[in-house]
Structure 1
């Protein structure tokens, strides 16, 4: 008989927090760049990976993005740094329904871990978004030195919750992370929208 999960592990970006591309597109257009140009540079593996495992700070990541914009798009260094600062100033928006679900789960006595690949800016973001006290556990990849979807990352999460993997339900919008969680022994569900909530409630016995 399958074990019913009694702990929730939930992703941040794409589930609880969302970024509206229309906010950043005018910033890029004003610098003469196509929409998504800064994101494309920022998420290049050689820049992002060190920031996600704590080898580089958030500020070092931002510096690398600015340098990449100079190299790839010919921006002047001052303009590149100004654009990155402006791009970084937008910290996204919280999905109130997803956040209410987290509160509902915790109110039912089920612990909730925020499991996110993030930079050293995460704690400041959580305070800014009003999420500093929204979770029982926060597992930030840049703090623990490993990231989703590795087995090592999920072990850290389960240990923090004091639960074996089979008693944890993982929710993420990235299929690669969902597959990694399942390989590590967790129940895992790919988030698509708030329409997923009835299933998740049932999975947790709520």
Structure 2
């Protein structure tokens, strides 16, 4: 029987922050791009990895994305800027859960693969004061699912790995957390919250 979790690490994108595809689709339609081409281009491993690992800035990453679009230079830059203008929205049920965990005395940290734009996004979303720590791959210079990411995350929340729960929507990150000795839980939606409350031994 595992020890009860005494701290929560929560992923940002796909868990605490959700994305409405409509604004992104609208940009692709406006510029005559194939569906999902902006996202797929941005996730090309040779430019995505250095952006998450703190080797290039968010602006440099987006410049590389623009350079790969089948548009002229001005249109490419405008398309990427329009695509990036939408920064997602907070999932209210997940935020309520984060507040519940903190109210019970368990530290909570956002633990995410991100660029140097993360802190500004958290301010804009109103999340900066909602967690105890922000653990960013860009700042650590290592990204999930690397063991070092989770080791550093546990140090920041001041708990042993066996006492930390990582909630993520990426199977690789969940497995990486488990390999590092944490409890990793694969997020698929708010229907998981009752179970997670039990894992964290929250009061009824």
Give the TM-score of the pair, scaled to structure 2: 0.97
Q: Tell me the residue number matched to 1:2.
A: 2
Offset of residue 192 of structure 1: 0.7
Alignment counterpart, residue 101 of structure 1, candidates 72, 97, 105:
97
The equivalent residue for 1:37 is 37
Alpha-carbon offset, residue 188 of structure 1: 1.1
Contact 1:18/1:92 (8 A) holds in 2: yes
* 1:20-59 equivalent positions in 2, closer than 5 A: 20-59=20-59
Separation in structure 2 between the aligned mates of residue 135 and residue 35 of structure 1, nearest angstrom: 35
Return structure 1 stretches of 4+ with deviation > 4 angstroms.
Answer: none
1:119 aligns with 2:119: no
Write the distance in 1 (CA, Å) between the matches of 2:32 and 2:20. 20
2:183 corresponds to:
187
Cα deviation, residue 30, structure 1:
1.1
Distance in 2 (alpha carbons) for counterparts of 1:161 and 1:25: 38
126, 136, 150: which one pairs with 1:130? 126
Alpha-carbon offset, residue 26 of structure 1: 1.4
Provide the secondary structure at the position in 2 that maps to 1:156: helix
Structure 2 distance, partners of 1:35, 1:16, is: 25
Q: Distance in 1 between matches of 2:128 and 2:199?
A: 26
Q: Secondary structure at the match of 1:38?
A: helix
Shift of 1:34: 1.7
From 76, 82, 86, the equivalent of 2:82 is: 86
Match of 1:150 in 2: 146
Provide the C-alpha distance between the structure 2 equivalents of 1:107 and 1:158, rounded to a whole number of angstroms. 20
The CA deviation string for residues 30-71 of structure 1, in whole angstroms up to 9 with x for no partner, is: 1111221111111101111111011101110111111111xx
CA RMSD in angstroms, aligned pairs only: 0.7
Partner of 1:133: helix, strand, or coil? helix
Q: Aligned pair count?
A: 202
Gaps of 5+ in 1: none
- Counterpart Cα distance in 2 of 1:144 and 1:174: 19
Cα deviation, residue 2, structure 1 = 2.1
Query: Per the alignment, in what secondary structure is the counterpart of residue 8 of structure 2?
Result: strand
CA distance in 1, matches of 2:164, 2:24: 36
